[in-house]
Structure 1
Amino acid sequence: MKKIYFSLLIIFASLSFLNAQSYTQGNLTVNIMPNFSHDSSNCTSMCMFMYNIQKPVSFVNDTVFIKDAGSGFVFYTFVNTSGSSPWSDFAMIPQLVSIVPDINLIQPGNIANYFAPPVKAISGVDTIYNIFNMNGTTITDACSYNNVSGNLYVDQNSDCVFNAGDIGLQNVYVASGAVLSSPTQTSAGFSTYSNTGGNYNMLVQQSWLTSYNVYIPSQYQFIFPSTTCSPVVYNFTTLPQTNVDFSLQCGSVVDVQTWVGSPGSARPAIPFILNPVVSNTGCDSASGVLKLVLDNRVVYNAGLSSNPATSQNGDTLYWNYTNLTNLSAGAYWNSFFAGVYLTPNVTVNIGDTLCFSSIVNIPANDLNTTNNMYSFCIPVVNSYDPNIKEVSPAGTTAQGLIPASTPSLTYTIHFQNTGTAVAFNIIVVDTLSANVDAASLQIIESSHAMTPGWNAPGVVQFSFANIFLADSTSNEPASHGFVTFKVNLNPSLTPGTQITNRGDIYFDLNPAILTNTALNTIETPSGIKETEVKQITLLPNPASNEITISSTSLIEKIEIYSVTGELLRSEKYSPSANIKLDVRNLSNGIYFIRAGNSVMKKFVVAR
């Protein structure tokens, strides 16, 4: 398989971008041409990436796939329906579009940086990896924005001034709703959070602005009732604005709540982390116990957990938390966190769910008791492979008959992820037949980047690390993979010799899945044929030491031939209908016996 890698260095200080990029590998060239546009009424710019593929040599139904570089999802397929050679085609790929709001432009200079997913282009044996869809331009008619700033604090002495003894509130959400006169946009929202000192600075759109307000959401009002020093909502018509402060009081209630940060899914035998949390959004402090009830099919490892449980009783973990208040460390939100290291046991299978509950005690002055318990379940997903093994030439009949002159066999191992999650790593282990020359193995092609290696003499391993193979439900075309290799046959294989090959495919930590067995058999040459007669029998057949020849007529002469017609032995006997023939000096293989002048029968020596 041919591979080529590109790296693109972007120095944001200079913001120097190419307007077009070109990648070539073998018979395939991919040109990327960015197409920029700006919408002043919506205050956004867009870059669409036009793809041009070129192949100097092509044919009817020649295909170029544009795939996501990570998941393998097929974004676009170019097909040469006309059979033109050379062949060139253009397409604007819908998934490769980047939109940048004007508020996110880099200053100074109003620079828009556009990023779309990196892709790879595949056409036969030619693969171009890591095609970067990145570009940038200066927006000359960008919308303008300006600042609103102020402070959020608990006014302990009620003097309407942020001074000694007052507490600045960190991480409080501040929002603004603007009324606009744009032809396509009548309103817009803006927001920010206060910093460690309670200060905030928020950009609000100035272009098309008619009026705007500034406020903190109503759900905070039970914690921080407004004082007479500042309104609940500010209203303005001009920008910029400074000293838009929120002087607040501290309520006497608490709201203790719990939740758990968790992954979207779990995999059998692969560890994951749960993050149980208890927090208090009230000014008064709260202390108590946090409990996490585990699914009985996971194993808890305290040594690998951050902030491990204070104690454990069966499937329940316990933590003590103390003095949680939103004024701790000058923060609006103060929480107790734990990191729990869990591993699903061997009984967990794809399609199962792992369920957990987080529970905190309810203080007497808790404003909302519905959020003191949090229960959830995590689906168990995994990759899975149906697999198939192919050989070329396949040969004829069910035995895969091939001539003894066949120089080599080409094997392809196909795999597909029919599970419910992306496959991160895939390993294919192939045990070669003793009838092939392992040293002659040559890798022809693979669907993804992989690393070959020898596990043992005659046992080759193909490692697809970080393949991120999509599952067939999410993206069927991208759920397939393969590896193709060629190996020479050993010289002088006798007719009847069988060459078998089978692979083991490992998807992540799943058990190995065996492929079918590809079978080839060295056929008998056409130079010598068995005579179809029923009056002679050979037993046993195959034979190891001795074979008995029985006939309905008397036998006086026996000749043994190789499958190529070479006379190996000729013996005369006293006339008899039953003759015992010693075959211990014959090697394993197929032979022919001539009884008399015309009767020819095949027998096999096998030990």
Structure 2
Amino acid sequence: MKKHFILFFGFLVISMIGFSQNEKAFHFTPDTTYLPDGTGASYTTTIWVSGYVVGQTITTLNDFLGICVNMEHSYLGDLEISLTCPDSTTIILEDQGGGGTYLGIPLDYDPSPPGIGFDYCWTPNPDYGVMSIEGNSYSTLPAGTYASYQPLSDLIGCPLNGPWTIIVTDNWAIDDGYIFNWGINFVQNPGCFTMLTGQIFADLNGNDIFDSSDVPMPNIELQANPGPYYGMTDANGYYRIWVDSGSYTVNQIGIALPWQQSFPNTPSSYSVAVTTNTYDTISGFNFANIASYYCPDLSVDVVLGSIGICSYPLVTVWYQNNGTMPSSNTTITVELDNNLTYYSGGNLISQNGNLLTFDVGNVGISQQGHFTFTTSYSCNPVWTGATACVEAHIYPDSSCIPVDSTWDHSSVSVEGECTGDSAICFTIYNTGTSGSGDMQGASEYRIYEDNILVYTSNFQLTGSDSLIVCWPANGSTIRLEADQRPGHPGNSHPQESIELCGNPNNSMGQILVVPQDDYDDFVEVDCQEVVSSLDPNDKQVVPQGLLSQHFIDSTDVMEYTIRFQNTGTAPAQKVVIFDTISDFLDVTTFNPMSASHSYTVDILYSNVIRWTFNNIILPDSGADESASHGYVKFKIRQKQGNSIGTVITNSAAIFFDYNLPVWTNQVFNTIGKMDQIVTTTPTVYRKADKIKVFPNPATSNITFEVNSNNYDIVVFNMTGQQIRKISRITTGSYTMSKGNLKNGIYFYKIIANNEMIGSGKLILTK
């Protein structure tokens, strides 16, 4: 079962096209770029090269065969033409010379329609010299190979993979021209020139053939091995996978209960031999799936727009039925942050405080839809830097998949609140039925201060019972996590975080550090920090990770959002996003969740994801700021076995029309053992108190310095069991012996006048 969404998929043509056996390293774009008249105006056209080994570079000039453009222009002397490689190294190919010499056969009036382009190439071994000099000898510069103004050898060290961009700058008025296409040619051959295609569908009548009674299945991933190479189905269930010559096995890898594959069945995959090294298409590799169980299987996604003080953030909700039968009377609840207020939009049928209920009616098999509504955020500036969250839940959320027989039918949930700015109180609920849903054993709960574990204990509740756990409020962000009982269906991980409670209110930005409780497909949480300004083109990851190393667990699922905005001066007709997935992430688990506009998606080679927004007509921010934004959102799992210290990095390149790419920030996470990440600094709950604990870590004795003459020290082990208590200490300094305590991590509390004034961790070592 996947949480995923599809927005009217269609086919794309991959940017790398092979033309013949000896041209397989020729990367080409057929797009026409108009070069209107302008003084100092620059125009760009970009090819994204993929398929080479990660980190592969141009090592000698012999690796680079040349760059060719098919173009026309009515005044060579106007132009400076340069080439930028993926690491931003730029060389000038032609530097404004040659006077009124024509390039190609232009129609010499302004503005002019396209004329006839000639092929001009810059190569290491050219037939002509530099264009600006050769142009003095011709009225029309002949097609052919030319020397570059700056040496091509300056490209040595450039990565092969990534954006290669031609930049044409028109330095004088009157004349114009066109680039009709261009390409870049390397000696190295990345392969991948044959396209394998087919269709995946829900075979509702069981005849193994797609017909009018069947339903296409979008967002199903496929794999061709060896390679591996990947494909993903569009809205009509069609897919394509680009491969090189060789023998392959093709299978679908994105099918899960309640579906099962019915065709092909013996074997369950296709074998295909690709014998050509030229561009070709081999079709007919179709997959049929039938129901293992009959039930709806609903998924939801929610995206909260950017938030500032006194702003009106837009909330977008997507939903889809991944099940084997339609869903009737479908509703979605959205719980708003306390500082958000519903303003307008969506088919709202009820509101209970911050809990909104929307009616979405009947949702057919594989059907998806969305709605938006507007909220307003508090105008109190104290919330700048706070984190606002929304949580969407789609109903019905029951599963027809048989439950684990070990489950005791209890179900845990957690809620929390700031009480009088002095305490944070959490309520742990067992929402199971009294009697049949009683917890048959204890589960653990944990309390974190600013994402550092400070306390653990156990609870056991009968059905419909609850437990209140309060913790002193000191301005830190406090989180309580509570475990479900073994066998509980789904992936629920109950938790609640409360920030800005107590004094001083100086702890913000802690909520997105850890995963949210939204691993089940029928629930999704989205959080945004309240900011005064932001980069309009950025990359976000949840969990962000702990401390400056951004530590996460090796089992955490990564959720990425790429946001973009047209900050130009005219509508963008097309937006393309490239995202190279880290080698430490599992591309087979790529799960596109939602996007702001209709798009197509491709998996290029083994790890490059490409989203294309054709005909997006994205307004510029000056004309319509609110409509100038867009986003894509996806989840992906880590590869198994990521070791401690592994760093997962990610960034994306965003292309608006034919401009240079806009690179997002780079996000990163480091694999660590979260339960072993500790801080030895005491947490102090009152401004007047001063507490020191040293040495920490300790091998024998530990000294506590407290500015009080009557206090207790209580020590707990990692399970919350009290193992030592020293009462009625009347001196400002007390030294505690390690005694028979084993090496490890312990918690302590310092209590004065029946009030906890400090807490922290002790680390005992040899």
Structures share a fold, TM > 0.5? no
Q: Which has the larger radius of gyration?
A: 1
Instruction: Please classify the TM superposition score into its range, dividing by the shorter chain length.
Output: 0.3 to 0.5
TM-score, structure 2 length as denominator? 0.32
TM-score, structure 1 length as denominator? 0.40
Richer in strand (by share):
1
